[in-house]
Amino acid sequence: MIYCGIDWAEKTHDVALVDDTGRLVAKRHITDDTSGYKILLDLLAEHGDSEANPIPVAIETPRGLLVAVLRTGTRKIFAINPMAAARYRDRHAVSRKKSDPGDALVLANILRTDMHAHRPLPDDSDLARAIAVLARAQQDATWNRQQIANQLRSLLREFYPAALDAVAIWANGLCRPEARELLKSAPTPAKAARLTRAQIQAALRRAGRKRGIEAEADRLRDIFRGHYAHQPPLVEDALGKQMLALVTQLEAACTAADDLAKAVEETFPQHPDAEVLLSFPGLGIQLGARVLAEIGDDHTRFADARSLKAYAGSSPITRASGKKSSITRRWIKNNRLNHAGYLWAFSAITASPGAKTHYRRRRDHHGDWHAAAQRNLFNRMIGQLYYCLQEHELFDEQTAFPTGLAAAA
């Protein structure tokens, strides 16, 4: 049996191959291009790599062109966490020195001694991986949009409270196109106070508003002409220029989030598992795509529902030492899936009578706080999702939350 370890870098990679005894049988320094990839594949083939007997590969990243090349065929790729690899390094050298060829050797020996303790990359379909790219990018764009909106809100509180009062009644507030158009038309409170009714109406129309323009223009005009404290003129103008820069960033973030959301809406329904995911209460296209992106469509990836629950961070963990024992929530988990699960459980409370009853029972009879009760609900529903995906069955409210058993309890 041959094991391969690759220490990857931006431009070059170090490759090491070891046998069952830990003897280094080959090493190579390759470039990050097609010629380097060909050298690597030829080296693996030279030492027995084939469809019937593939050589497992350990590398410290799960993505990139190098990983895409290695994933062709039946070869198993193990993405080793860099922190775990650093701990293994101490087993081979006490000096704590670090070298790229040495790290490649360490990675190969990880598979030789502890391959059973590490999980290979899932065998997801190309469609599932494409959905993962789009869903994660949309999630990142949403977080980025909110971060910039928070920065803009903090800045407006310093010199432009009228703008915050103007957008207070709108959902998403500063992320609305009407808010961005108004801020671009009047970047300072002094300029906002001089806006005419016609100018405000024109800004609302540029933002795409179709109804209630006259009434909304009157409301905004009254707010902008209200009595507020002001910064000195020079300082106010400087803050206005800073605000316009943030508005430009926010507009780009909003456009990116919307475009990626449309791409997810076009791609996600094409997946065979989308029907099952969308049958669950609280899961729409965007949340369903995020869940699929993290669990994939390789139904052999998780041995049972407990493994998926632990991966999502929804199941509790017991820590015991001596006479002390505590049951707490998991800190090591898939943070993206855990965040999607929080939103999923929150939406399911209002979308499913059974989910709401389960949540209230955790709050009223078990003494859970809101987050703990919601996490418990997510833990139950993701276990149900595991079963439905395995059997390709749609969610059934009566089966998931039997009313007769609940009443008897």
At the top level of CATH, the class of 3-117 is alpha beta
DSSP label at 120? B
What is the pLDDT of the chain when averaged over all its residues? 92
pLDDT score at 406: 52
Mean pLDDT of 90-111: 83
* CA 290 to each of CA 112, 172, 178, 208, 321: distance values in angstroms, whole numbers, following the listed order: 34, 21, 29, 29, 37
Q: Where are the domains of the chain?
A: 3-117, 130-266, 275-408
CB 310 within 8 A of CB 378: no
Say how far apart CA 71 and CA 124 lie, in whole Å. Answer: 11
Check whether 408 has a pLDDT greater than 60.
Answer: no
pLDDT score at 331: 83
Nearest in space to 58 (alpha carbons), one of 8, 24, 124: 8
Nearest in space to 71 (alpha carbons), one of 116, 114, 126: 126
Q: What confidence tens digit (pLDDT) does each residue in 347-373 have? A: 999 999 999 999 999 999 999 999 999
> Global pTM?
0.88
Mean pLDDT of 312-328: 85
Query: Can you tell me which residue has the tokens 């199941």?
Result: 315
> For the CA atoms of the chain, what is the radius of gyration?
28
pLDDT score at 96: 66
User: Given pLDDT bands bounded at 50, 70 and 90, which one contains residue 101?
Assistant: confident
